[in-house]
Structure 1
Amino acid sequence: MKLKMMYPYLNADIALIEKELARTVQAEDSVIEEASLHLLKAGGKRIRPVFVLLAGKFGDYQIDTVKYVAIALELIHMASLVHDDVIDDADKRRGQDTIKSRWDNRIAMYTGDYIFARALEMITKIEDAEAHQILSHTIVEVGLGEIEQIRDKYDLDQSLRTYLRRIKRKTALLIASSCQLGAIATGAPSSVHKRLFWFGYYVGMSFQITDDILDFTATAEQLGKPAGSDLLQGNITLPVLYAIQDQAFREKVENLFVSTNPEKDITSIIDEIKGSDAIERSVDLSNRYLTKAFHVLEELPPNKAKTALHKIAKFIGKRKF
């Protein structure tokens, strides 16, 4: 089942948000606007806006209010992608040229900053102090995650705890905030929006672990970028952490980092990771986070949104791209 089939009653609202995203990134500078629209048109699952809307269904749902949260969270995510591509020197994302590849690093950084500023402008439409505090904390944590990713590049001595903290900051908290802020924007009770935060957090951890698994198990066509890109860029993800417990494999990864032809060497490393127990162990940890998410979901009142959240969480755990 495709992701969009799990919440067909949101189609009109999602289409509205898509139009609003395009309108929001319009700029006086034609290059910044063109670059922003280039990223937007590359697509994406729009997971964060979907979580915002579904969480909003636990309160007094009004699309003209909750849309501002959905737009803001997606824009923050988009801005972080632009900055990531500069940090990682990435040429492709979702099968399209990155902004830094089509233009340059300077334009990419300005574009990311502009998109981020527009996100902050959107969230001011929500007059709730708690919502602003939550979003501010999330933005700080995302920034720390960016710094940690730079710091931890090529570091094969980092711990599992370091990795989990990094993906919490880089991915999970933004998804958790999407769930919580969607509920807050529609006046859902505190007991509900706090549970939605934890649901989103656990799903977000599973989502990123699955992404890191797919970097080795999916095809370049499915990924929209070469397989093994994360490792080539020096990002040590969960399957690698598990696999380098074997000393011989660790030495191969060390050699990859100093290789004059890493694109060629990565093929055998991918094959070894797929042939080891690293993928299975990574899937197991992802599933443990999903199990926690399902337990939290059971504590929420029943409605169509709860059913959709359950289906989406299952999809995230089983997806192949």
Structure 2
Amino acid sequence: MGLERVANIALEILQNTQSKEAISLYKELECGKMLRSKLVLSIVENESAYRLCAIIELIQSASLLHDDVIDESLLRRGKTSINAKFGNKTAIMLGDILYSNAFFELSKFDSQIAQSLSQSVSLLSIGELEDVSLEQSFNNNEQKYLDMITHKSASLIAASAECAAILATHENHRDYYKYGLYLGMAFQIIDDILDITQKSENLGKPALSDFCSGKTTLPYIYLYHELDNDKKAWLKSLFKKNLNTDDFEHLHSLLLENPIKKAKQKALFYGNFALQIAQKVKNKKLESIINTMIERDF
């Protein structure tokens, strides 16, 4: 019921545009896990919190619209993406409409909340820029990958938790920020693992599609550093390519060994930090979120 209410408020905000086309396009978007809203409502639940969640969901949707254009994605959550269905210009402009309406509503909140969330969107955009740069060639630098997902994936989750804590008048709101940051890091690493370990029908896209589209995620980085020079050259030759059956099967089998194990350990490393903070602030709901997230189908 709570998440449905968030979705309804987001739609109400967008209806203020009085643009039938924008509203119609927005309704085409598939609702995701709403992790950020679940996080906020696990910290504070009142009318302002629901409105904050709606703003965050609009920001998240806008970022995904732009992300799909940049990545030339044809699918989003198993359905045809807005850019594939209506064109890049339409997807970009819809994203801009969502952003601008979200920030208009955000301006009505306390300045500390507005600043935290606004800063996270700046970091998110920097992360997107870093991601585009990393896609130019095979990346074997783990720290560059971690910095990128800190900005692109974890910053908005971290700010969501911090803003909820500020709304709840918790003085230790930076603890909540750190919780969200570690949760976001673990969440993205697990998503990257699932791209390798899950079947295509569960993913809503082909397995290993991240690598084929130009993303060198953590398991590939770990694999690279395990290989001899000839095998390293082979791995780099597959980057951004449509894999034939033999290469796919060989690469898949190599990834499922030590690289996936190491990536899981890194996700658990961040997940355990988040869990410690949840225990420190004595919030069982936050403990449940991190436990459920790190236990999902690796």
TM-score (norm 2): 0.92
Percent identity among equivalent residues? 29
What does residue 20 of structure 1 align with? 9
Instruction: Could you list the structure 1 runs, at least 4 aligned residues long, displaced by more than 6 angstroms after superposition.
Output: none
Q: 138, 144, 154: which is aligned to 1:172? A: 154
* Correspondence 1:1-321 to 2 at 5 A: 12-26=1-15, 27-39=17-29, 42-56=30-44, 61-62=45-46, 64-126=47-109, 128-188=110-170, 190-191=171-172, 193-245=173-225, 246=227, 247-257=229-239, 259=241, 261-262=242-243, 267-268=248-249, 270-300=251-281, 302=282, 306-320=283-297
* Residue type at the aligned position of 1:196: Y
Q: Could you tell me how far 1:271 is from its partner in structure 2?
A: 1.6
Partner-residue secondary structure (3-state), 1:236: coil
CA contact 1:68–1:125 (8 Å) conserved in 2: no
1:210-269 C-alpha deviation (Å, 9 max, x unpaired):
00100100112211222112111101110111111214443233322474x447576325
Greater Cα shift, 13-22 or 287-296: 13-22
CA 269–171 in structure 1, closer or farther in 2 if over 3 Å, else same: farther
1:55-80 C-alpha deviation (Å, 9 max, x unpaired):
21xxxx42x11112111111111111
> Partners of 1:129 and 1:37 in 2: how far apart?
30
CA 235–157 in structure 1, closer or farther in 2 if over 3 Å, else same: closer
CA contact 2:117–2:160 (8 Å) conserved in 1: no
CA contact 2:214–2:240 (8 Å) conserved in 1: no
CA 172–269 in structure 1, closer or farther in 2 if over 3 Å, else same: farther
> Partners of 1:108 and 1:266 in 2: how far apart?
34
Q: Which runs of 5+ in 1 are unaligned?
A: 1-11
Greater Cα shift, 134-143 or 268-277: 268-277
* Residue type at the aligned position of 2:200: A
More contact order relative to length (CA 8 Å, sep ≥ 6): 1
> Partners of 1:108 and 1:269 in 2: how far apart?
37
CA contact 2:140–2:224 (8 Å) conserved in 1: no
Partner-residue secondary structure (3-state), 1:244: helix
> Partners of 1:88 and 1:287 in 2: how far apart?
28
Partner-residue secondary structure (3-state), 1:25: helix
* Residue type at the aligned position of 2:75: K
* Residue type at the aligned position of 2:183: V
> Partners of 1:100 and 1:236 in 2: how far apart?
24
CA contact 2:175–2:277 (8 Å) conserved in 1: yes
Q: Could you tell me how far 1:53 is from its partner in structure 2?
A: 1.1
> Partners of 1:186 and 1:70 in 2: how far apart?
14
